[in-house]
Structure formats: structure tokens, C-alpha cells
Amino acid sequence: MRNPEPVVFIVDDEPAVRDSLTLMIEQAGIGVQSFESAEAFLNAYGSDFFGCIILDVQMPEMSGMQLQDELFQRKILLPIVFLTGHGDIPMSVRAIKTGAVDFLTKPVTREKLLTCVRLAFAEAEKRVDEAAHKQNAIACLKKLTQREREVMSLAVQGRSNKEIAACLDISHRTVEIHKSNIMRKTDSINLLDLVRISRESDLGK
């Protein structure tokens, strides 16, 4: 599946900042949508939103940091580029740690902003791909029986068929049959594929 064209979502309460940045990004041939508040963005948000958010830190109601938390809660994966009036270092450290792509101080140059937007788009692709893999892995694992899942969890830990048989108190032959079914159901070629699926699904842990 091919991702749609990425869009920059500007969230800033300042009309002149929204207007000028929109002009700048559009000029670079990138699509833009702007919102006057965090609430307006959340109301408009749809699962087809793809790209990144340029987010003002200081806004009258919901602040930029609060919106970041809210997006995390709702598992919205859009990467964030923060914009702030003054470079508050502890605040920017926190924002980066919780997944922001960058923290830019106003006024921002065209070069810096566009570089950041491109980085954020790459990040967005990565996040969407990861999410797709995870969906896929979870779907695969759902096809397995309880016993097959037990066998798989031991196999990805690197246990041999013999060990698995001893551990689950079944015959060596039965383990081989389970494993063959697992490989077929998850469309895996080898054990490495299995390990990846297990990791991506978060179930293997």
C-alpha cells in the first residue's frame, strides 16, 4: 500500500504566523492545513491525516505540550515539530524525549523549517510502516492456536525442537508439525521471520 502525499498541519493561535508559514510551505510545493488551536486540530483529525504537525508551544487553551500528550494517548502517530517563542531548554528536552522531531525557536528560517518538515515526513513514513507491520504481525498471530503460540514463543527464544518437546511434554514429532503450521500460517520462510513478527506484534515479549 502506498502512503498518500504528506501534509503539514500547522497549529498556532497566531493568524500571521499561520498565514506566513502556510505561504512558505506551499511555495515549497508541500500541502498545508492550518488550525487556530489544539482543539480545532483534534476536532478535524481523521485517520487519513498523514504528514507532520508544526505545533506552537504557547497557546491560550490547550498548550502544545498538552496536545502532544493527547495525541500519544489517542495513538495518533503524526510526528511533531515544536515552535516556541523562546528556547526553553528543559521544555525542549522533555518534548524531544517524548517523541518530538525537533524544537525550533521563532523566528524560524525557511531552510531550517523545510529541513525539519522533510525529516518529520520521513519519520511519518517510518511510523506508518511500523504500524502496518505490527497490524500484519498481530493478524498472523491471531491465526495460531494456543499450543502453536506456546511453541512459537519458545522457538523465538532459540530453543531446539527437543527442548520445546520436553518443556511442553509433547513428542518431538508433534513439535515439528506445530512449527510447520506456524510457518505456513504466518507466511514465514525461516526462524528470523518468526522473530521479527513476534517483536513487531509486541506479543513475543
Partner 1 sequence: MTDELTNLSFRTLFDATLEAKLLVDAAGRIVLANPAAQLLFGYNEDEICEVMVEMLIPARYREKHRRYRALFLDNPKKRTMGDGKALAALCRDGKEILLDINLSPIKTQGQFYVLAGFNVTDQRLKAEEALLASEERLRLAKQAAGLGIFDCDCKNKIIYWDEKMRELWGSSNETMSYKEFLATIHPQDRAARQVAFESAIDTTGHEGFKAEYRIINPANGVERWRWISSIGQVHFKDGRADRLVGVVRDVTEQKNLQKKLQAQRNETENLFKQQVAVRTASAIAHEINQPLTAISAYSEVALHALHQEAFNTDNLKKALEGCVEQAQRAGRSIHELLAFLQKSEIETEQLNLNELIQEALDIARNDGFGGFHQVLSLQENLPAAQGNRLQVQKVLVNLFRNAVEAMRIANVPTSKISVSAQTLAETNMALVVVQDNGSGLDKDMVKYIFDPFFTTKPSGIGMGLSISRALIEANGGQLWLDPDSKAGAKFHFTLPLAL
Kindly list the residues in this chain that would bind partner 1 in the complex (CB under 8 A). Answer: 14, 16-17, 19-21, 23-24, 27, 58, 83, 85-86, 106-110
Shortest distance in whole angstroms from residue 108 CB to partner 1: 7
Shortest distance in whole angstroms from residue 26 CB to partner 1: 8
Shortest distance in whole angstroms from residue 84 CB to partner 1: 9
Separation CA 61–CA 80 (nearest Å): 19
Separation CA 50–CA 68 (nearest Å): 16
Burial classification of residue 163, based on how many CB atoms lie within 10 Å of its CB (0-12 exposed, 13-18 middle, 19 or more buried): middle
Provide φ and ψ at 36, rounded to 5°: -85, -10
Shortest distance in whole angstroms from residue 58 CB to partner 1: 8
Provide φ and ψ at 78, rounded to 5°: -60, 125
Shortest distance in whole angstroms from residue 60 CB to partner 1: 12
Q: Which is nearer to partner 1, 114 or 168 (CB)?
A: 114
Q: Which is nearer to partner 1, 106 or 149 (CB)?
A: 106
